[in-house]
Amino acid sequence: MGQTAGEVDNPVKAVLLDLDGLILDTESLCVEVARSVVERYGKDLTLEAQRAALGKRPLECWASVAEILALPVPAEQLLAESEPLLAARWADAPLLPGALRLVRHLAASGVPFAVATSTPRATFNSKMSRKPELRQLLAERPGAVVVCGDEVTNGKPHPDVFLAAAAGLGVPAAQCLVLEDAPSGAAGATSAGMRVVVVPSLVGVGAEFGPADPAAASGLLQLLPSLLAFCPESYGLPRFHDTLPPAGHPGGGVIPMDRVVRLRGEVVKGFGRGSKELGIPTANVCPAAVAKHLAEAVTGIYAGWARVGQRPEIHKTVLSIGWNPFFANKEKTLEPWILADFDQPFYGETLSLVICGYVRPEANFSSLEDLVARIHADADVSRAALDCPPLAALAADPFLLDLEASGSAAPSRQSSGLGPA
Ligand code: ADP
Ligand code: RBF
Ligand code: MG
């Protein structure tokens, strides 16, 4: 990769954070509530309507939705209908992967940062009400700057909220980096003269920032699959120090996940190219068994522990979750390469997985050799990381030791002829 915007000549001095869809997973709450409101008028909340609303202030969201769906009532009424439904739920919005890690890192390393959100102040407070650490770091730290949607004249895609946040920090716009999930926010940031990293919260939003987008083409906009893939050092900011192994590794480092994922599913036939084309067998897990995690999961390469059926061994594993850009798959898959030798394929058996480290985002490669070399480097760094606390201890996770559950699907499925001859 070439030089990222902001390196060397004009390093970033401050970070401006969007809230909804970047720090907090409020989009799914909003979509659910908005869907229930538009259904009262016999309409379905289309993806187009969801995208148009993303990142805007509440009344502007409803104005967009009302127009796109031709709803027979004004935005004000729709807002009034949705507010009580949402108010009850804000406090429970989950943190997005990598969000707390980033905020802790910015605070600990003394990087000036602010929140620049479309959310009105009262709603911001509700959203923080059951998240004391996040609230402290974002809003109660000495010098904390939070600019809310009802504290500026024009909402995103206007630049007001970003300019006010930069002014609050006393940092010129050109030295601010904005982290956003929504196209309207990205547009606001670029029109404020700021660089922007877009981490889309809705599937498909990334498409808007292809090479044709002027900000993307000029290097002012970078698109990432999640905050876990954000490298502050590429903007001249201090790097993270939480990756494993601690002393660094030629293949990068593994980020310990704050929420470990435990999955179990039957090993099914994949695309039939892992062993053949790459020399790297990947045990594809039945998509139905892991559907919920697969839908929610940040795409990327992960490290963890694996157990096949009730066999005694617990193995290190490295896995890919996503669309395999090199092969342009149409389906999102979860494919572990178990770092051990097996005499026989184990189709039909139950695979138990404890996924505990994030390695890197999915990537495309200019040749198959490059892809294969990278997967081997992923395996090397994962092996080393899984030897380190706290990841090493997870080899003894009760989920992996639960013999009854890990063996349950195996015997009947194996005899059903799913495996190869
Ligand atoms: P498919 O496309 O059907 O997944 P692969 O060529 O990727 O085929 O081979 C994967 C299969 O190979 C797994 O389902 C499993 O039965 C077997 N296998 C053998 N060794 C391994 C390993 N180390 N990791 C994962 N799967 C393995
Ligand atoms: N496929 C990609 O297209 N891009 C990747 O960056 C990528 N990384 C992988 C990392 C690991 C550890 C594994 C096991 C697989 C990875 N793959 C990647 C998926 C690979 O293309 C897939 O296993 C084969 O297509 C076989 O289905
Ligand atoms: Mg496979």
Over residues 322-337, the mean pLDDT reads 89
18 is catalytic: yes
47 by DSSP, 3-state: which?
helix
Domain range holding 353? 255-406
pLDDT band at residue 6 using 50, 70 and 90 as cut-offs: very low
44 is catalytic: no
Residues 6+ apart with CB under 8 A from 215: 186, 190, 196, 209, 221
Q: Alpha helix locations (H) across 254-340?
A: 291-296
Backbone angles phi, psi at 358, to 5 degrees: -105, 130
pLDDT band at residue 205 using 50, 70 and 90 as cut-offs: low
10 shares a domain with 34: no
Q: Alpha helix locations (H) across 10-98?
A: 27-39, 47-53, 58-69, 75-87
Q: Which of 60, 180, 266, 335 is catalytic?
A: 335
List ligand 1's pocket residues with C-beta within 6 A: 267, 269-272, 274-276, 281-284, 337-338, 340, 342, 345-347
Place of tokens 């630049």: 159
12 shares a domain with 141: yes
- Does residue 369 lie within any of the structural domains? yes
Query: Token pair of 268, please?
Result: 């099914």
- Does residue 47 lie within any of the structural domains? yes
pLDDT in tens, 172-198: 999 999 999 999 999 999 999 999 999
pLDDT in tens, 36-79: 999 999 999 998 999 888 888 899 999 999 999 999 999 999 99
7 is catalytic: no
281 shares a domain with 385: yes
Residues 6+ apart with CB under 8 A from 74: 66
Centre of ligand 2 to C-alpha 58, Å, is: 40
What pLDDT is stored for residue 8 in this prediction?
A: 47
What pLDDT is stored for residue 419 in this prediction?
A: 26
- Does residue 415 lie within any of the structural domains? no
Sign of the torsion formed by the C-alpha atoms of 355, 358, 362 and 368: negative
Sign of the torsion formed by the C-alpha atoms of 43, 49, 50 and 53: negative
The residue whose CA has the least distance to atom 8 of ligand 1 is: 272
pLDDT band at residue 341 using 50, 70 and 90 as cut-offs: very high
Q: Where are the beta strands (DSSP E) in 186-238?
A: 195-198, 221-223
- Does residue 412 lie within any of the structural domains? no
156 shares a domain with 64: no
221 CB burial (10 A radius; 0-12, 13-18, 19+): buried
pTM of the model: 0.86
Backbone angles phi, psi at 47, to 5 degrees: -60, -35
What pLDDT is stored for residue 206 in this prediction?
A: 63
